[in-house]
Amino acid sequence: LNIAVKNGKVRAPTHIVSTICDDRGEEPTYAGVPISNIIEKEFGVGDVISLLWFKKNLPRYATKFIEMCIILCADHGPCVSGAHNSIVTSRAGKDLVSCLVSGLLTIGPRFGGAIDDAARYFKDAYDRQLKPHEFVETMKKKGIRVPGIGHRIKSRDNRDKRVEFLQKYARLHFPSVKYMEYAVQVETYTLTKANNLVLNVDGAIGSLFLDLLVSCAMFNQQEIDDIVEIGYLNGLFVLARSIGLIGHTFDQKRLKQPLYRHPWEDVLYA
């Protein structure tokens, strides 16, 4: 920048720096790729995410995996915090953006945060070469449940089809699935503790995303660390669930539901 200023290319240092999308020409470019190119080459939503978030033209097997994650996380019924708040706001007669946003704001450590956490913990444990049982027992000592492990209904003998599908897809298409294999070893150990401590969808996505980043060989170490630290997987969940939250908002408006008031009988006025 300073050199650019000296060379007279820019008169004054600008107040904003931005690197993902240039809208100054005849048509916007996403990470340098003109938008009409993107359309002509029949890029999918995953490819656009790859350009605007990662600034890379990731291979199609990777961007299809991103789309699969979006599809799996798009909704989880009306009872979870996010959908519930969007429903309440929609029934208060507010505009779509307000409804969506009111629900999005519940996403965080307790709702939707498990994918990112799973990626962080699995990465840390694998990179420090902790044996699966060491990892699980260390977590136990710290009093933290292993994110990505455990399911209310599913168990050893009644596996989650979505997890199986993701694993099959990755084994077929990813150059390497070492983080997922590690997660499976963790699962093998936790299953000796209880029947329902299976690898769940959050854990499968979290570990496989690490494999995607590492095995595509398009990111250096610093970039991968940044991605995990900044929490890109949270972005994936947020974007995916937006589809559901918008859906619930429309649903209530279509049904012309009246103002929601929580029932008095369900509140303990302590």
Ligand X SMILES: CC(C)(COP(=O)(O)OP(=O)(O)OC[C@H]1O[C@@H](n2cnc3c(N)ncnc32)[C@H](O)[C@@H]1OP(=O)(O)O)[C@@H](O)C(=O)NCCC(=O)NCCS
Which residues within the stretch 130-149 sit at the binding site for ligand X (CB under 6 A)? 145-149
Task: Assess 76 for contact with a second copy (CB under 8 A).
Answer: yes
CA distance 200 to 206: 10
Q: Please check whether residue 127 is in contact with residue 178, taking contact to mean a CB–CB distance below 8 angstroms.
A: no
* Coil vs helix vs strand at 155: strand
Nearer to ligand X, 87 or 197 (CB): 197
**Lookup result for tokens 């208060």:** 92
Question: Buried b / exposed e across 237-251, counting CB within 10 Å, b at 16+?
Answer: bbbbbbebbbebbee
- Write down the H helix ranges in 50-127: 60-73, 81-91, 96-104, 114-127
* Longest alpha-carbon distance in the chain: 72
The footprint of ligand X on this chain (CB under 6 A) covers a number of residues equal to 16
Nearer to a second copy, 191 or 238 (CB): 238
Among 114, 170, 228, 236, binds ligand X (CB under 6 A): 114
Task: Assess 211 for contact with ligand X (CB under 6 A).
Answer: no
Among 141, 143, 220, 264, binds a second copy (CB under 8 A): 264
Task: Assess 108 for contact with a second copy (CB under 8 A).
Answer: yes
Task: Assess 207 for contact with ligand X (CB under 6 A).
Answer: no
**Lookup result for tokens 């049904």:** 255
Q: Which does 148 bind (CB under 5 to 8 A by kind): ligand X, a second copy, none?
A: ligand X
Q: Which does 59 bind (CB under 5 to 8 A by kind): a second copy, ligand X, none?
A: none
Q: Contact residues for ligand X (CB under 6 A)?
A: 112, 114, 145-152, 190, 194, 196-197, 200, 202
